[in-house]
Structures are given as structure tokens and as C-alpha cells.
């Protein structure tokens, strides 16, 4: 007989058939009722053992132990479940000795505590739900693009280029640290390194995706990216996953439409496929919100928020309009912002959150940012006022998260691109391959990057990015 997943038994509502169930014990009551969870769904199944079960076995039935049972699915008389299993055979596969088991606590463990126990936290309801939703979203991402005829492109993880030009990269080397080969001027001789040049972990697959889009028209990447920025916030990881579609012939407007459709598709997919998990997370969030002072609580519950975002257009404003709104805001006038506001600033998260959470109360797409604060590859806007040069950038800001998407129409004009790279000290000779696409059949194109963990944060209502990736990598932390 093969193992039946608990989800299938609970969904089925069928009775009077035999099953084998394997899983981990979540609780044991009255020497008779075992709650078993196998991760296939949020709910555990109740297994009822007979009162004459051997003492030897009873002793081993404890929270966290793994077991295999054989029994009959029967209608349940108890509250909270339609069916349960009348156990005929029980085998403890792995004992879980009581006191040392970190999840043995009487009170619900805090998320902070569980972060230290990331190897075991999958066993809690909250993390089971989060990681099932994360899986669903990853699946939905591929489905969304596949249905639209995009080609999934695997871009390199080790690279010699710096896509964002921000220089926050992890070096990849096989040179010895204590005595690396040196050039005459005492700098390190990377010609001797593994790849014969200096390499790093990628910060984005965009530049390579652009090359592919210049032939396949519609491509996307979905892979890990790495940033050595020292931002110890609830929104930053040093290793995170990013989805980067790149589309030939798309303008900024079409880029925004694609991003909005994409985000809504993911939300809809989760609402339709992860209802029980989302309802559990909604309740969790509600309890968390109750701890906050009244004026800091969010007005909507999790499900309500997701439905609201799904059913309403994102607001679309230019950077210039965004700055004007901030300058006119009561928050600015009452000097509530820590950072000053003026045209040209790189908006801080307090500014973004004001726009999204206080002013518009919905996701906002901000476009046409100042050229000076954006990457070299963004298309330069024509007809800008003197001193107010902008680029065809778009950031999507989400309630509770801030920036969730960053993207742009790309500079397809060789002369303008080359000039901008020179201004920003990006070596044009080394990047000849990128410039070649502009030399040989250049075409307008656009794309964006969605931070996967920020999307998972948004959908699950979790508040710390460390709680939506199995093993977070942050400054001074690479455990497990």
C-alpha cells in the first residue's frame, strides 16, 4: 500500500477506506488523539489510537516524532474535522526526545526565536504556510510567462560585469588570500585567477537577458542574485531571487502593463490555490496588528488587501509628480520626514511609504526618474527641461513593502548609451558584447525586475524578509 497525503484525505471527505499516513506529530491528547502533519497542507489529521496500545509505543508518541500509521478513514465525531483515522497499526519512525526539542514550548514561539532555528521552523504552521505560498508563486511565475510565449533564460551566476553599476558585489576567486599573485604596481593579478579575470556573483541577469531578447523577443530570468550591500533591514537580503522579463519592442507603457498584469496574476493564483494558508496567515497578522498602537494598524486584513490590489488599477505618476505630492504633504510641512525632499533626491523608504500607504493607499508606479540616480542602461527621455534630465524608469511601490519592482525602457541608441557609460565610468571596451546589440539591429526594448522575496512578503503578510526565504543570507549571518 502506498502512502496517502493528508491533504488528499482531508479534501476527499470520503470514508471507510484504508490508508497509510506518514508524518510528524503535532500534538498528543488524552493518550488517544494524535495530530499528524505531513506538510501537504496546513491542517493536521487526527489519528485515534486504541486504548490498549502498548505502553512502549505510547511513550514514544511525542510532539515532533515521526511515525507511520495504517488505519481506516472514518467520519469524525470531534469538532474541527470531518474525517479522522482509526489507527490499526502504528510505527514510530523517529523519536523526538522531549526537553531538547526547541518547538516543545508551551507558548507559541516568536518569529525571532524561530529564525535561530531555521532548520526546524518548517514544522510550524506559519512557516509551512509561507513556504507553500512561496512555491505556488514560483510555479505561477513560470506559468504566467509560459502562457504568454516567453522563453525562460538561465543567465550566469558568476559574471564579470556589474549590471547595476552599484559595485556592491561578492567577489568569486580561487586565488589564495595570504599570497595572491601581484602585478608590478602591487595590485592583484586577476589574470592568474580561475577565469583569467576578476569575477563576482551576479547582481542581476538583465544584461544577458537583453541579449537574448534581441532574438527571442520575449524572455525572462528567475534566479538567485547577490548584493553585498550592508543594509540590515527587514526588506534586504544579500542573496535573493529575482524575476526579470525583457521584451523587445516594448515601450515604458507596455512594460508597466506587463508588470501590473504579472503581479495581479500572482496574487490571483495564490488566492485561488492557497486559500487555507492565506487565511491562517491573515489571522496571524491580525493578532500581530493588535499588538500595535491603533494609529499604526493597517486598515485592511491580508485577504482584503490582496483582493483590493487585484481589483484596482495601480496608480501611475511621474517622479516629478511624486516629489510635488511629497512637498505638498502635511508630513513634509510638519517636518515629519527624516530625510529632506527636493527634485533630484533618491526617495527614501519613508517617502515611498507615504505615497503608497498614506496618499494613494494602493500600489503606485513611479516613472521617469532623474537620470542621475538611475542605472546607465535606462533610456534617456527626450525633451527634458534643463537640469531635469530624466530616464524611462519605472518603480512599483507596494503598501507595506516599498519598492517591489524596478525596471525601465532600455537605451537602444548606441551613441546615447556609449556616452552615458563613459560619463558613469563604465568600461565600454569590456562591455562590447552589450553594445553590439545596439550596433547590430538595435530595437526598442524594456524590462523589469521583481524581487521574489518582496512579492512573497506582500502576499503572505509577513513583515520580515528573513521569514520568507528558507535560509536567509544577511550581513553577519550565513548559518545553515
**Where along the sequence are the contacts to ligand 4AD (CB under 6 A)?**
163-164, 204, 206, 227, 236-237, 240, 242, 244, 403-408, 447-449, 451, 453-454
Q: Where do runs of H (alpha helix) occur along 274-381?
A: 275-290, 302-311, 319-328, 330-333, 349-353
Query: Minimum CB separation from ligand 4AD for residue 240, in Å?
Result: 4
Cα four-point dihedral sign 309, 310, 313, 315: positive
Q: Which is nearer to ligand 4AD, 258 or 404 (CB)?
A: 404
Query: Minimum CB separation from ligand 4AD for residue 407, in Å?
Result: 4
Provide the 3-class DSSP secondary structure of residue 246. Answer: strand
Provide the 3-class DSSP secondary structure of residue 19. Answer: strand
Query: Minimum CB separation from Mg ion for residue 386, in Å?
Result: 26
- By a kind-dependent CB cut-off of 5 to 8 A, residue 204 interacts, out of ligand 4AD, Mg ion, none, with ligand 4AD
364: which strand partners? 315, 397
Cβ neighbors of 77 (< 8 A, separation 6 or more) are none
Query: Minimum CB separation from ligand 4AD for residue 39, in Å?
Result: 26
Query: Minimum CB separation from Mg ion for residue 395, in Å?
Result: 6
**CA distance to 182, 193, 285, per residue, from 176 (Å):** 11, 9, 49
- By a kind-dependent CB cut-off of 5 to 8 A, residue 227 interacts, out of Mg ion, ligand 4AD, none, with ligand 4AD
- By a kind-dependent CB cut-off of 5 to 8 A, residue 444 interacts, out of Mg ion, ligand 4AD, none, with none
| Burial annotation 167-176 (CB, 10 A radius, 16+ → b, else e) | eebeebeeee
Query: Minimum CB separation from ligand 4AD for residue 381, in Å?
Result: 17
Q: Which is nearer to Mg ion, 131 or 452 (CB)?
A: 452
CB count in 10 Å sphere of residue 410: 29
Query: Minimum CB separation from ligand 4AD for residue 324, in Å?
Result: 23
CB count in 10 Å sphere of residue 298: 16
Q: Which is nearer to ligand 4AD, 204 or 390 (CB)?
A: 204
Q: Which is nearer to ligand 4AD, 370 or 447 (CB)?
A: 447
Instruction: Report whether 97 contacts 103 (CB < 8 A).
Output: no
Contacts with Mg ion by CB under 5 A lie at 406
- By a kind-dependent CB cut-off of 5 to 8 A, residue 265 interacts, out of ligand 4AD, Mg ion, none, with none
Q: Which is nearer to ligand 4AD, 163 or 281 (CB)?
A: 163
Q: Which is nearer to Mg ion, 124 or 155 (CB)?
A: 155
Pairing state of beta strands 364-367 and 315-318?
parallel
Q: Which is nearer to ligand 4AD, 64 or 363 (CB)?
A: 363
DSSP 82: S
Amino acid at each position: 500500500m502506498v502512502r496517502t497525503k493528508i491533504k488528499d484525505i482531508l479534501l476527499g471527505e470520503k470514508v471507510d477506506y484504508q490508508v497509510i499516513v506518514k508524518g510528524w506529530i503535532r500534538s498528543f491528547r488524552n493518550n488517544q488523539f494524535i495530530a499528524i502533519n505531513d506538510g501537504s497542507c496546513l491542517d493536521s489529521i487526527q489519528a485515534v489510537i486504541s486504548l490498549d496500545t502498548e505502553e512502549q509505543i505510547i511513550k514514544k508518541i511525542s510532539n515532533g516524532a515521526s511515525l507511520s500509521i495504517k488505519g481506516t478513514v472514518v467520519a469524525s465525531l470531534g469538532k474541527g474535522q470531518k474525517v479522522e483515522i482509526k489507527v490499526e497499526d502504528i510505527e514510530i519512525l523517529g523519536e523526538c526526545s522531549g526537553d531538547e526539542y526547541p518547538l516543545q514550548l508551551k507558548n507559541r514561539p516568536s518569529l525571532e526565536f524561530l529564525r535561530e532555528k531555521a532548520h526546524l521552523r518548517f514544522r510550524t504552521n506559519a512557516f509551512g504556510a509561507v513556504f507553500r505560498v512561496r512555491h505556488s508563486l514560483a510555479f505561477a511565475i513560470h506559468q504566467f510567462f509560459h502562457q504568454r510565449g516567453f522563453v525562460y533564460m538561465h543567465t550566469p551566476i558568476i559574471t564579470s560585469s556589474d549590471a547595476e553599476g552599484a559595485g556592491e558585489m561578492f567577489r568569486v576567486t580561487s586565488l589564495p588570500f595570504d599570497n595572491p599573485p601581484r602585478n608590478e604596481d602591487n595590485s592583484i593579478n586577476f589574470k592568474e585567477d580561475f577565469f583569467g579575470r576578476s569575477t563576482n556573483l551576479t547582481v542581476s541577469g538583465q544584461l544577458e537577458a537583453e541579449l537574448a531578447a534581441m532574438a527571442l523577443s520575449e524572455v525572462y530570468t528567475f534566479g538567485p542574485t547577490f548584493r553585498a550591500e550592508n543594509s540590515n533591514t527587514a526588506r534586504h537580503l544579500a542573496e535573493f531571487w529575482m524575476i526579470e522579463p525583457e521584451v523587445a519592442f516594448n515601450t515604458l507603457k507596455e512594460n508597466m502593463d506587463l508588470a501590473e498584469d504579472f503581479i495581479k496574476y500572482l496574487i490571483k493564483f495564490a488566492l485561488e490555490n492557497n486559500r487555507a494558508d492565506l487565511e491562517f496567515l491573515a489571522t496571524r497578522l491580525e493578532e500581530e496588528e493588535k499588538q500595535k498602537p491603533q494609529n499604526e494598524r493597517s486598515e485592511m486584513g491580508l485577504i482584503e488587501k490582496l483582493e483590493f490590489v487585484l481589483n484596482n488599477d495601480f496608480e501611475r505618476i511621474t517622479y516629478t509628480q511624486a516629489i510635488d505630492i511629497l512637498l505638498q504633504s502635511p508630513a513634509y510641512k510638519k517636518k515629519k520626514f527624516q530625510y529632506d525632499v527636493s527634485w533630484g533626491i533618491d526617495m527614501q523608504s519613508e517617502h515611498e511609504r507615504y505615497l503608497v500607504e498614506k496618499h494613494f493607499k494602493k500600489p503606485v508606479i513611479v516613472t521617469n526618474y532623474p537620470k542621475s540616480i538611475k542605472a546607465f542602461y535606462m533610456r534617456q527621455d527626450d525633451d527634458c527641461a534643463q537640469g531635469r534630465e530624466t530616464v524611462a524608469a519605472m518603480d512599483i511601490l507596494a503598501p507595506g513593502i516599498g519598492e517591489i519592482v524596478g525596471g525601465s525602457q532600455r537605451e537602444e541608441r548606441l551613441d546615447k548609451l556609449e556616452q552615458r557609460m563613459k560619463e558613469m565610468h563604465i568600461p565600454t571596451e569590456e562591455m562590447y558584447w552589450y553594445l553590439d546589440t545596439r550596433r547590430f539591429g538595435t530595437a526598442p526594448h524594456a524590462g523589469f525586475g521583481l524581487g521574489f522575496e518582496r512579492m512573497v512578503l506582500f502576499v503572505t503578510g509577513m513583515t520580515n524578509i528573513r521569514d520568507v526565504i528558507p535560509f536567509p543570507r544577511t550581513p553577519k549571518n550565513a548559518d545553515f
